[in-house]
Amino acid sequence: MSAIFRREFRAFFTNPIGYVVLAVIYAFSGLYFFSYNLAAGYADLSNGVFSMLFLITLLAVPFLTMRLFSEDKKQKTDQALLTAPTGLTGIVLGKFFAALLLYIIGISITLVYAIIIALQTTPDWLVIFGNYLGILLLGGLIISIGLFISTLTESQIIAALGTLAISLLLMSIDMIPSLLNNAAWITTAVEFLSVSTRYASFTSGLIQYDDIIFFATFQALFLFLTVRVLDRKRWS
């Protein structure tokens, strides 16, 4: 797994995608921090920087993950990868953690903003930590979705758009009950599966174990599906 991790992490910086994603995160977060927190004098990072990071995560992460398996398929190197001594689980986890580390590097800029605010006033650290944990878990979920979609096509654009579509679908699942006359069992199911509702709990500083387990479980599910797709390809 470590060899795959190092290879994929380096690959983010041998082509523009890693630099572009980091530049987008830093540029927009810096703009929001300056205009909302420094210029306007607000100490709350939730409605400015983290709201922007939520949108950037939805839009940018699919393009971060689009090449992870699609590129191997396009260059016909996927069979060599599948027959490597590393197990399929190690391959998937290596790629997942490489993308996750790059994402963490990007969103860690918020910790710098929090320290700057702390020099001027006393911020609500629980809310800041909740927002950071929430955006980290959301990013991990979208990365795992992107990995799965990337195994299904050799087109990087299709992989990115597919990941974006599924991510948006998960975030908008709350609208389903109103479209189906608010059936009780549907409402209950949607409340349990609602990614946006669970994410909103983190943004208010409410950190609950079931929300963390929810995100971790869905990440594990998509990673498992990725391994299954690769295993089928190995023997096909």
List the domain range (segments joined by +) for residue 147: 2-235
- Pull the structure tokens for residue 7: 């290879």
Instruction: Look at the chain and report how many structural domains it folds into.
Output: 1
* DSSP string covering 14-42: HSHHHHHHHHHHHHHHHHHIIIIIIIT--
pLDDT band at 96 (very low <50, low <70, confident <90, very high): very high
Q: What is the pLDDT of residues 175-187, one digit of tens each?
A: 766 656 666 666 6
- Taking 70 as the threshold, does the pLDDT of residue 213 lie above it? yes
* Cα gap 181→92, rounded to integer Å: 41
- Unique residue bearing structure tokens 């398996």: 69
* DSSP string covering 131-193: HHHHHHHHHHHHHHHHHHHHTT-S-HHHHHHHHHHHHHHHHTGGGHHHHTTT-HHHHHHHHHH
Residue pair 147/222 in contact (Cβ under 8 Å)? The answer is yes
Instruction: Considering only CA atoms, give the Rg of the chain.
Output: 19
Q: What is the pLDDT of residues 24-69, one digit of tens each?
A: 999 998 888 888 878 777 777 887 888 889 999 999 999 999 888 8
One-letter identity of residue 45: L
Q: Say how many C-beta atoms besides its own lie within 10 A of residue 128's C-beta.
A: 23
- Unique residue bearing structure tokens 């963490």: 104
* Cα gap 25→14, rounded to integer Å: 19
Q: What is the pLDDT of residues 6-15, one digit of tens each?
A: 888 998 888 8
Q: What is the pLDDT of residues 115-145, one digit of tens each?
A: 988 888 888 888 889 999 999 999 999 999 9
Predicted TM-score (pTM) of this structure: 0.91
- Cα 102–Cα 209–Cα 49 angle in degrees, nearest 5: 45
One-letter identity of residue 77: T
Which residues have a Cβ under 8 Å from the Cβ of 9 and sit 6 or more positions away?
98, 101, 102
DSSP state of 47: I
What's the Cα-to-Cα distance from 179 to each of 167, 174, 185, 187, rounded to whole Å? 19, 10, 14, 11
